[in-house]
Amino acid sequence: MKQGFDNDKYLAMQSDHIRERISKFGDKLYLEFGGKLYDDYHASRVLPGFEPDSKLRMLMQLADQAEIVIVINAADITKNKVRYDLGITYDLDVLRLIHVFTDRGLYVSSVVITRYVDTPAIQQFKHKLEKLGLKVYRHYEIDGYPSNIPLIVSDEGYGKNDYIETTRPLVVVTAPGPGSGKMATCLSQLYHENKRGVKAGYAKFETFPIWNLPLKHPVNLAYEAATADLNDVNMIDPFHLEAYGKTTVNYNRDVEIYPVLSAIFEGIFGKCPYKSPTDMGVNMAGLCIFDDEACREASCQEIIRRYYQALEKVVKDDSCQNEAYKIELIMKQAKISPKDRVVVPAAVNLAKETDAPAAALELPDGKIVLGKTKELLGASAAVLLNAVKELGGIDHSIDLISPESIAPIQELKVRYLGSGNPRLHTDEVLIALSTCAATDENARIALEQLPKLRGCQVHTTVMLSNVDKNVFKKLGIGLTCEPVQEDKKIG
């Protein structure tokens, strides 16, 4: 993928800007971290050059000044809410995040359970955290939140919440996902700090939408596509336009909540330190784009990818049709269609020719490699082998894995493991390839090409199993699938 984002510039500029914001407030800054602090693959796809752990690496530059507070909503614990990109529940993700942060040398000081209720599941989770040496705080639901300002900014509102003890000038407030209560946690702390005579401020770190890109820029449209299920809408920040005469981009929830936030700030401090939702942000990502066209193209591809994801959800009854309809409208705004993803027509045309599932993969040089359904291999496995042959300069007539090597794996699958599909999945093919690489030079060369597939794009004409999807994800290949079950034919 062509690069368009300067990651090193971003790390330096972003950490400097946060230091500057800390200095404006004196003693302490509560920084609400929206989106994914770690493994932000969406940002890495739409801003090619952005590393998935960039935000974490940026914080590591502030490690001596920062501590992390992780927030989780009590309802997400009791309902076993799942992060679908990882396949784990929110409470397990809290433990994962603690492990990731501490391994990187960052200090996780505490966990806050918001909208706290005293149930066995929550007590169990609380005790598990305390055994790890973490402090656990309780924040409660406030009647009339967020509109009942007099109650919220009182001893019966924020005042009822536990005061989170912090020791460092930068307090990063993050969570497993949206709706956890990060902003409310920050504001509650401002109330408590003010009562104690501590000068504390608030800022928000949200990568998307990017405030200094045009409203309909593909990077910002890709954010709308990514949050289509939440009904987020990008919009011009009217408060910033009125205050400064400058056009900036924010999203509906921040714009809608700003008057309430402003009133809460006035209730705590006597005045609001910000004139607009954009003022609250600290994101410098837009200033680190050096190739706008590369980011536009990558974002258009992301919009199409999200569209196919939404169609898959409809087939699986995981989502209503509205999400797909919304992304269709976003594609029209971006003036793109699925055909602008070159692997789509290539795969669909092959499927029609062969009357069987097919796959197409675009290599780094733009060449398209195809994969047919075969007796021994599925189309997705075939396209992987054809791709590494092409990259390794290996003649396509050569079998990297002999039929004699595949037969025992098929027997294991069908005879002993009860599989109804004798064809090898992508993970099984890669294991077989690595085994052959010990004795076969072509297999060894082919195996060494796998890192070159990172950033490539692939499309299949049937929905893949989770096993195959995970292999493509681990290889760093962008995958889309036609919303068709594997037993259906393309015609």
| 423 residue type, one letter | R
Mean pLDDT of 318-335: 90
Per the DSSP assignment, residues forming a β-bridge with 393 are none
CB 209 within 8 A of CB 218: no
Residues in contact with 404: Cβ distance below 8 Å, sequence separation at least 6, in sequence order = none
The proportion of the chain whose per-residue pLDDT surpasses 70, expressed as a percent, equals 98
Query: How far, in Å, CA of 101 to CA of 109, rounded?
Result: 11
Same fold, 7-288 and 342-481: no
197 in the Ramachandran plot: left (φ > 0), alpha (ψ -120 to 50) or beta?
left
Element (H, E) at 282: none
Predicted confidence at residue 319, as pLDDT, reads 64
CB 182 within 8 A of CB 175: yes
Q: Where are the alpha helices (DSSP H) in 83-237?
A: 90-103, 120-131, 149-152, 182-195, 218-226
pLDDT confidence bin for 5, thresholds 50/70/90: very high
pLDDT digits (tens, 9 = 90+) for 50-84: 999 999 999 999 999 999 999 999 999 999 988 87
DSSP 80: T
More confident residue, 33 or 406: 33
449: tokens are 């090409």
Residue 460 parent element (H or E): strand 457-460
What is the b/e burial string over 10-46, where b = at least 16 CB atoms within 10 angstroms of the residue's CB? bbebbbebbeebbeebeebbbbbbbbbbbbbebbbbb
Domain ranges of the chain: 7-288, 342-481
The CATH number, out of the four listed (2.60.15.10, 3.10.630.10, 3.40.50.410, 1.10.3210.10), of the domain defined by the range 7-288: 3.10.630.10
Cβ–Cβ under 8 Å, residues 199 and 24: no
Give me the phi and psi of 312, to 5 degrees please.
-60, -40
Q: Token digits for 406? A: 């595949």
Q: Do the beta carbons of residue 112 and residue 137 sit within 8 Å?
A: yes
Q: What is the pLDDT of residues 344-394, one digit of tens each?
A: 999 999 999 999 999 999 999 999 999 999 888 889 999 999 999 999 999
The CATH code of domain 342-481 reads 3.40.140.40
Question: What average pLDDT does range 170-188 have in this prediction?
Answer: 93
For residue 146, give the 3-state DSSP assignment: coil
Q: What is the dihedral of CA 43, 45, 47, 50, to 10 degrees?
A: 70
Average pLDDT over residues 126-149: 94
CB 71 within 8 A of CB 173: yes
Question: Looking at the DSSP assignment, which residues form a beta bridge with residue 73?
Answer: 114
Tokens 């994962």 sit on residue: 96
Instruction: Give the confidence band of 402 by pLDDT, cuts at 50, 70, 90.
Output: confident
pLDDT at 401 over 90: no
Q: What is the largest CA-CA distance in the chain?
A: 79
Q: What is the pLDDT of residue 168?
A: 96
- The pLDDT tens digits for 140-159 are 999 999 889 999 999 999 99
Continuous segment of H or E residues that includes residue 172:
strand 170-174
Per-residue pLDDT, 489? 45
Instruction: Give the span between the Cα atoms of 213 and 220, in whole angstroms.
Output: 8
Asked if the model's pLDDT at residue 415 lies above 80, the reply is no
pLDDT of 487 reads 64
Q: How many residues belong to the chain?
A: 491
